Structure 1
Amino acid sequence: MSSLLGIDNGLTVTKAVIFDIDGTQLSVARRRVPQSMPQARWVERDMAGLWQATAEAIKEAISLSGRPADDIKAVAATAHGDGLYLLDKNRQPLGPGILSLDSRAGGIVERWSAGSVFSEALELTGQVPHASAPSALLAWLKENDPDRFNEIGHIIACKDWLRFCLTDTIGTDRTEASTSFTDVNGQDYSPEALRVYGLEELFNALAPIAPSAAVVGYVTAEAAALTGLKKGTPVASGLHDVTASALGIGGHADNVMSIVAGTYSINEVVSDAPRTDPRWFCRNAITPGRWNNMSISPASTANYDWFLDTFCPGDQAEAAATGVSVHATLAKEIDAALKRPSTILFHPYLFGSPYGNFASGSFLGLHGWHDRGDMLKAVLEGIAFNHRTHVDALRDGFAFSEVRLTGGGSRNPAFAQMFADILNMPVTVTTVDEAAAFGAALCAGTAVGLFTSPQDGAAAIAKVDRTYFPDSSQSAIFDERFALYSRLAETLKPQWLELEKLAALIPGVRP
């Protein structure tokens, strides 16, 4: 027997998932990783605590799999992209990891947008910087924490930290390397890219690049003792979680739009030539000579989670006590709301948006006769509308005939059907539950020769669960609602900064 371990570290949970080489999920173990928000707009985590939680999850997954540790032929990790994880010159963690929800560098990005940095960065690197990009966070450290900045020895990403803990080797992969500092045409690090951001002195601190599906080290004795893995198990480089999720659902292929409805609204399509536009990131795909074009914002199902935590605590407690999913408990309310017209529109900008750092969420058209189901429907619709904003941008640059959907909402038939109706395209959901971890496992399997490539492995193994086809009458209704949703967002755009300034008028509260 042979199996593969894929590690998937998100913004709040780290998971270890063991797959049989035929794609069957054998076990999954999860651990929450606490976030720290010491100041407004700061979102951090303890790096040692992340590794400890991941090690515990790996040990539990091995136990739950019913197979011995030496059955695992290879390991690879994926994790949230962007953000910033640093090691000092002695290869020790240099402060906490900074998550991709962090927006402390928003002011720097606003300043860059008013000058030449955006246009230079787009032309050279294929993307404009955003508040949680490594470029922006490093520039923030240089200005605001020069002591920490001067101690930087190695710049890595979240999944690269887990690789280091497993193997004691430092490096990254092609997909992660392209988050800020690669030439979009040459697909390798560019000193000129660091110059654009005023970070020239950090070139030698960039992590060496390896293919996503290359063996980059082996599980050390120390890591084996903590995780239960066999010492010497091969570890592959792994990949950015956006790419991993698309790979895991068979979406890293021609003419396919991959949508990840998770904390972030992620919408991506692969191309065989670079094409740049400020509405998307043009980053390295898994294979040289291929590019992953991503239009994203932190405005997807995190809004739904917020609604559940804020307005449905009793339902969540009941679900936990009975073992019934809270989503199933609320399904009747949502289904009933879907059957009746509503004036409510929701902008899902609670944690970010395509409109910059100062946008905020809002319910519009809310009346006293609306109930919780109407508001839940509006939240789900707003999330799908935000995805459409990104998908429509990518339609301007790329052709695709198929949409594949993954993420927390993809298992809800009503939500998946809503995507099909709003995008007016067939939407396919696969049987893979842990798509990002599966994408990492495909890289691990390729690294030790079990698959010819990660993409071929996905094509052979990923199975379609259901395809949702658009209802033309519903699509017409959603088109009208989306047009109004978009006009209202543009109307509110000048007012969002004014709203943020209100916090400064309250003693003791910072904007």
Structure 2
Amino acid sequence: MVPAEASIMPSLLGIDSGLTVTKAVIFDLDGTPLATARRKVTQVMPHARHVERDMAELWRATADAIREAVERSNRPASDIKAVGATAHGDGIYLLDREGQPLGRGILSLDSRARAIVDRWCEGALADQSIALTGQVPHVSAPSALLAWIRDVEPERFARIGHVLSCKDWLRLCLTGVIGTDRTEASTSFTNVKTQEYDPDALRLFDLHDLSHALPPAAGSDEVVGTVTREAADLTGLCEGTPVVAGLHDVTASALGAGGYDEGIVAVIAGTYSINETLSAQPRVDRRWFCRNGISPGTWNNMSISPASSANYEWFLDQLCAADQASVEAASGSIHALLGPEIDAALARPSTVLFHPYLFGSPYGAAASAGFFGLQGWHDRGDMLRAILEGIAFNHRIHVDALREGFASTRARLAGGVSRNPSVVQLFADVLALPVTTSQTDEAAAWGAALCAGAGVGLYAEPCGDPSRDIASARTWLPDPGRSVEYEKRFRVFKEIAEAMSPLWPKIADLAPHST
């Protein structure tokens, strides 16, 4: 390792723990990534609709990634002036009253609470929830998952000492301090108007026994602790390095992509279809969550579903595995290999449509994925085009909802698919909006790092992103002719989904024990 005296160049560490991979990224103060390290984290699915992970494994994997990033940066750990973490939002990571993990963490892909949420949404509770908390309860919300544990695992429920999010667990492992931040606190139990915890929210879901378990909430850029000696030994960080409260990954992604502002809709094409815009007033609607922004008096309005690029990755894993193995052996890229096939398919007429609902949808938990209009003469390129269009169409559903409530004149796109110019143009044409791509490959980690930098005074505020207006950022303008054609395809896409809505539950019932 480089001796401490060999460098005095400040840097920041951003941790981004997603649903399958946990990452550590060290950034220069201008946003340049100096080193990135990743570790896969095992998903455990003990029953249908249960998606969990071992909390100790998650911490070990994250610590290993941090150590590798520090080593790969070729700078001393003392250069890292602060640490910020973000992670998948929603889901729950429970601790007992002694502060130890209480079972496995539950991921936001989990849908075990579907029956509870269906019952809530059929009654008056949904309207009461949106009026009080700013959102309709959904299957991976802490409220729904805690209600399921209360009903199905009462012994575990009685032992709950602390209810954390994923990034809060990692922050605890780094600092020994239990807590959360304002953005994460608003996933179920805050008053949308006051932006503070509200006992009525717990009572609404019959969870009043957990008032002791809600963690104190700090500002995302507030220093809440420092790296402990134990964590320093595991990660290679310096003991005493400041750690900020961090933030929900939806907000972190928008912040890091330069799309965290009024008038911009941030579009993050990852495992989830994330679409969000900032407002200075709370405005509630069933089609989006109205949650706390980073600063008091701001609200982050997010319309999301687990239906984005994970569908594309699934197709590659399941149907392009041989090609992937071949190009990886030659240090190539499967995306570069498939690019010409996709471009050729985009250039010709096609009847093929795809609903990207392998892992969830805006049409309820029973919806499933499927190709329509597929014929014997279509090839892999046509199917890939349909998947990418379906992803863009699903984002369009959410963006249209936000545009009805907020004035958005441009979009900021981040996520793996944004590296393909043809796909970015596709998004511009489908959304009929100018689309600017982020120059930051690791938007969520950079958003966490920005909070860390603001927390120790290196930036005036988290939104002071030095890379936001760099000249190399590129904007794609919608092509009017293609936008007209995509409007036709989008309408058929929605009509099919609406027609399928009563059929999807019947399809799910064909194999009730596997859904």
TM-score band, normalised by shorter chain: over 0.9
User: Match for residue 36 of structure 2?
Assistant: 28
Alignment pair present for 1:4 and 2:4: no
The alpha-carbon deviation at position 495 of structure 1 amounts to 0.6
Alpha-carbon displacement from aligned partner over 1:121-173 (angstroms, at most 9, x marks no partner) = 00000000100000000000000001111000000100000000000000000
Say yes or no: does 1:340 pair with 2:359.
no
- Where do residues 47-446 of structure 1 align in structure 2 (5 Å cutoff)? 47-446=55-454
Deviations 1:23-53 (A, max 9, x none): 1110000000010001000000000000000
Aligned residues: 507
Q: CA deviation at 1:237?
A: 0.4
CA shift, 1:463, in A, is 6.0
Identity across the alignment (%)? 63
SS in 1 for 2:15: strand
**Secondary structure of 2:83 counterpart:** strand
Instruction: Supply the distance in 1 between the matched residues of 2:341 and 2:234 (Cα, whole angstroms).
Output: 45
Question: 3-state SS of the aligned residue for 1:332?
Answer: helix
Q: Quick check: 1:127–1:281 contact (8 Å CA) kept in 2?
A: yes
Q: CA deviation at 1:74?
A: 0.3
Offset at 1:458? 4.9
Counterpart of 1:240, as a letter, is H
Q: Following the alignment from structure 1 to structure 2, what is the Cα–Cα distance between the partners of residues 211 and 319? A: 45
Secondary structure of the corresponding residue to residue 57 of structure 2: helix
Question: CA–CA distance in 2 between the matches of 1:112 and 1:50?
Answer: 32
Q: Secondary structure at the match of 2:354?
A: strand
Q: 1:490 aligns with which of 478, 498, 502?
A: 498
2:352–2:386 CA contact under 8 A, matched in 1: yes
TM-score using structure 1 length: 0.98
Counterpart of 2:177, as a letter, is: T
The answer (yes or no) to whether the contact 1:432–1:463 under 8 Å persists in 2 is no
**Which amino acid is 1:6 matched to?**
G
Root-mean-square deviation (CA, aligned residues, Å) is: 0.9
Q: Distance in 1 between matches of 2:94 and 2:292?
A: 22
User: What is the TM-score normalised by the length of structure 2?
Assistant: 0.97
* Higher alpha-carbon deviation: 450-459 or 330-339: 450-459
In 2, the alpha carbon distance for the partners of 1:384 and 1:397 equals 20
**Does the 8 A contact of 1:82 with 1:132 survive in 2?**
yes
Gaps of 5+ in 1: none
Task: Output the amino acid matched with 1:228.
Answer: G
CA distance in 2: counterparts of 1:8 and 1:298, whole angstroms: 18
In the alignment, the residues of structure 1 paired with residue 372 and residue 464 of structure 2 have an alpha-carbon distance, to the nearest angstrom, of 46
User: 2-side partners of 1:352 and 1:458: how far apart?
Assistant: 36
Q: Is the 8 A contact 1:88 1:151 kept in 2?
A: yes
SS at match of 2:27: strand
Q: Deviations over 1:276-295 (max 9, x none)?
A: 00000000000100000000
Cα distance in 2 between the residues matched to 1:468 and 1:191: 47
Shift of the alpha carbon at 1:454? Answer: 0.5
Please state how far the C-alpha of 1:465 moved relative to its aligned partner: 2.5
Q: Select 2:477's aligned residue among 449, 469, 476.
A: 469
1-structure distance, mates of 2:152, 2:90: 20
Are the structure 2 counterparts of residues 458 and 43 from structure 1 closer, same or farther at C-alpha, using a change threshold of 3 Å?
farther
- Give how far 1:460 is off: 5.7
Q: String of CA shifts for 1:76-96, please: whole Å, max 9, x gaps.
A: 100000001011000000000
The amino acid across from 1:340 in the alignment is R
Look up the equivalent residue of 2:34 and give its one-letter code.
Answer: L
TM-superposed CA distance for 1:459, in Å, is 6.2
Q: Which amino acid aligns with 2:424?
A: A
- Deviations 1:242-274, CA, capped at 9 Å, x for gaps: 000100011111211100000000000000000
> Is the Cα–Cα contact under 8 Å of residues 163 and 237 in structure 1 kept in the other structure?
yes
Could you tell me which amino acid in structure 1 is paired with residue 344 of structure 2?
A
Letter in 1 for 2:348: R
Aligned-partner SS, 1:4 = strand
Deviation of 1:464 after TM superposition, in Å, equals 4.9
Would you say the 8 A contact 1:248–1:462 is kept in 2? no
- Residues 181-234 of structure 1, C-alpha deviation per residue, up to 9 Å, x if partnerless? 000000000000111111011111101000000000000000000000000000
SS of match in other structure, 1:257? strand
- Unmatched 5+ residue regions in structure 2? 1-8
Cα distance between partner residues in 2 of 1:503 and 1:269: 39
